[in-house]
């Protein structure tokens, strides 16, 4: 929920979905002067920086320097997403549970470091690589080949350093928290489906579907995550003079030894955001403004609907490779039974229709009393949509659906 205190919303660049709620503006967000000028001309009271690249590029610092409130961390604090090595070192300093690791800066160093690990080998380009910088290599030969690719510029400057990690076993879940640098409020949990294919097979994607909450993250585990992972992260960054404000999205592995951090993102995930927002009942604008202005307090506790929200991503053919663009989409009556269709890579055609303009195109989202019910409602909406040049996974939520069937039996 977003309060009516704000009467005007702008989205840059936006898409035909958000155009129903905000004016879409074509701003070059890599040009900070242009963004500042826009904020001044339009009397902007809060800027929410969605993606990681402009945060790592210091957009929040530029806006803060001219007193425009920003929801999102400074360049220094955004290193939590911008550099895997930075985060691993921070975990070590703060005693945060995570996989053992070595940072390497050359192929020779990395190859030698492989001796310290066992298969499967986890290799990560240090910098931002649009979610493609992680390789899990089953054998040493595959690891050596992947390292050669990384150090020969496959990921550009992101691969100048490679972090090699111990492989963690367990189930993955995501946990969210909002902070102004001092006060922290938990902001729910979710589970994503990263692989493109049914049954979690095929290449990794940005996410093919998600649900919230994630029942595997019990209240007790959430407390443990807050105490052992989130709080020490926020306190360490503040203590070192680079306080973090905004949303912390912790990717977790639930291991036999307890939850361990896989990685941090400094944004709401996609499609995790869609399911979190579907459940949110308290005022997001007010809470984000409090984060931006250092005024978050216990009074801002986020309230979520107890129902489960589940979203199915409809993607363009060939995603996560180069997506087939231009195909037409008809939403028909998809939203008639209470579902919500969030747009991603869509564009308005000249005749007012909708066409494909990106890899992940629609997020068809619905709620239910549990994952099984939310899944049924979301797929009922998916089936109403005509999207001939796209595809979707039909098993979003499968782990939880199996568990729910087990506990009903």
Give me the residues that bind ligand AMP (CB under 6 A), please.
99, 122, 134, 165, 167-168, 172, 194, 251, 262-263
Residue ranges with strand state E in 193-319: 195-197, 201-204, 209-212, 246-255, 258-265, 308-316
What kind and span of H or E run contains 185?
Answer: strand 184-192
Per CB under 6 A, 52 contacts ligand GLY: no
Q: How far is the CB of 182 from ligand AMP (least distance, A)?
A: 27
* Stretch 196-215: interaction string toward ligand GLY, x if CB under 6 A: ----------xx--------
Q: Which does 207 bind (CB under 5 to 8 A by kind): ligand AMP, ligand GLY, none?
A: ligand GLY
- Residue 269: name its binding partner from ligand GLY, ligand AMP, none (Cβ under 5 to 8 Å by kind): ligand GLY
What's the maximum distance between 2 C-alpha atoms anywhere in the chain? Answer: 61
Residue whose CB is less far from ligand AMP, 132 or 384: 132
Contact 186, 177 (CB under 8 A): yes
Q: Which is nearer to ligand GLY, 213 or 269 (CB)?
A: 269
Q: Could you say whether residue 265 binds ligand GLY (CB under 6 A)? A: yes
**Touching ligand GLY, residues 205-264 (CB under 6 A):** 206-207
Q: Is 121 exposed, middle or buried (0-12, 13-18, 19+ CB in 10 A)?
A: buried
Q: Residues 6, 285: contact at Cβ < 8 Å?
A: yes
* Total number of residues that touch ligand GLY (CB under 6 A): 8
Measured CA to CA, the distance from residue 162 to residue 86 in angstroms comes to 12
CB 313 to ligand AMP: min, Å: 16
Range 99-138, binding ligand GLY (CB under 6 A): 131
Report how far residue 382's alpha carbon sits from residue 287's, in angstroms, rounded to the nearest whole number. Answer: 32
Q: How far is the CB of 248 from ligand GLY (least distance, A)?
A: 13
Pairing of strands 121-125, 340-343: unpaired
By beta-carbon proximity to ligand AMP, the closer residue of 94 and 168 is: 168
The DSSP output letter for 369 is: S
Residue 105 Cα distances to 115, 133, 161, angstroms: 16, 15, 5
How many CB atoms neighbour CB 148 within 10 A? 13
Indicate whether 270 belongs to the interface with ligand GLY (CB under 6 A): yes
272 touches which of ligand AMP, ligand GLY, none (CB within 5 to 8 A by kind)?
ligand GLY
Burial tier of 21 (Cβ tally within 10 Å: 0-12, 13-18, 19+) = exposed
Q: Minimum CB separation from ligand GLY for residue 249, in Å? A: 7
Question: Which is closer to ligand GLY, CB of 320 or CB of 327?
Answer: 320
Residue 262 binding result from ligand GLY, ligand AMP, none, given CB thresholds of 5 to 8 Å by partner type: ligand AMP
Q: How far is the CB of 18 from ligand GLY (least distance, A)?
A: 17
Q: Give the whole-angstrom CA distance, residue 188 versus residue 32.
A: 32
Q: How far is the CB of 272 from ligand AMP (least distance, A)?
A: 12
The residues pairing with 310 across neighbouring beta strands, listed in sequence order, are: 211, 366
CA distance 59 to 63: 6
Q: How many residues can be counted in the chain?
A: 409
Residue 45 CB, nearest distance to ligand GLY (Å)? 27
Residue 167 beta carbon to ligand AMP: minimum distance, rounded to whole angstroms: 4
What residue ranges bind ligand GLY (CB under 6 A)?
131, 192, 206-207, 265, 269-270, 272
């Amino acid at each position: 929920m977003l309060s009516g205190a704000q009467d005007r919303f702008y989205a840059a660049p936006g898409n035909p979905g958000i155009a129903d709620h905000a004016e879409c503006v074509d701003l070059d967000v890599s040009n900070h002067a242009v963004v500042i000028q826009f904020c001044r001309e339009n009397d902007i009271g809060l800027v929410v920086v969605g993606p990681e690249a402009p945060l790592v590029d210091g957009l929040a610092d530029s806006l803060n320097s001219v007193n425009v409130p920003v929801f999102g961390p400074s360049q220094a604090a955004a290193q939590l997403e911008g550099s895997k090595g930075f985060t691993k070192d921070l975990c070590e300093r703060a005693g945060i549970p995570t996989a053992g690791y070595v940072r390497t800066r050359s192929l020779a160093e990395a190859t030698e470091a492989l001796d310290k690990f066992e298969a499967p080998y986890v290799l990560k380009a240090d910098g931002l690589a649009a979610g493609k910088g992680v390789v899990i290599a089953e054998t040493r030969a595959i690891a050596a080949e992947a390292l050669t690719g990384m150090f020969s510029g496959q990921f550009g400057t992101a691969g100048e350093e490679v972090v090699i990690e111990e492989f963690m076993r367990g189930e993955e879940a995501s946990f969210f928290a909002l902070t102004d640098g001092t006060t922290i409020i938990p902001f729910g949990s979710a589970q994503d489906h990263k692989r493109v294919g049914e049954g979690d097979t095929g290449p990794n994607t940005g996410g093919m579907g998600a649900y919230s909450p994630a029942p595997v993250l019990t209240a007790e585990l959430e407390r443990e995550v807050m105490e052992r992972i989130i709080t020490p992260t926020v306190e360490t960054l503040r203590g070192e003079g680079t306080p973090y404000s905004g949303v912390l999205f912790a990717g977790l592995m639930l291991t036999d030894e307890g939850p361990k951090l896989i990685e941090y993102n400094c944004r709401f995930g996609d499609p995790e955001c869609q399911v979190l927002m579907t459940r949110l009942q308290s005022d997001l604008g007010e809470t984000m403004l409090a984060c931006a202005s250092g005024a978050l307090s216990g009074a801002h506790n986020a309230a979520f609907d107890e129902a489960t929200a589940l979203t199915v991503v409809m993607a363009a053919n060939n995603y996560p490779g180069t997506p087939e663009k231009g195909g037409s989409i008809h939403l028909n009556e998809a939203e008639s039974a209470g579902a919500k269709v969030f747009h991603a890579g869509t564009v308005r055609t000249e005749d007012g229709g909708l066409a494909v303009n990106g890899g992940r195109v629609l997020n068809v989202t619905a709620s239910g009393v549990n994952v099984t019910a939310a899944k049924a409602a979301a797929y009922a909406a998916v089936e109403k949509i005509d999207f001939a040049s796209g595809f979707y996974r039909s098993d979003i939520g499968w782990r939880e659906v199996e568990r729910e069937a087990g506990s009903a039996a």
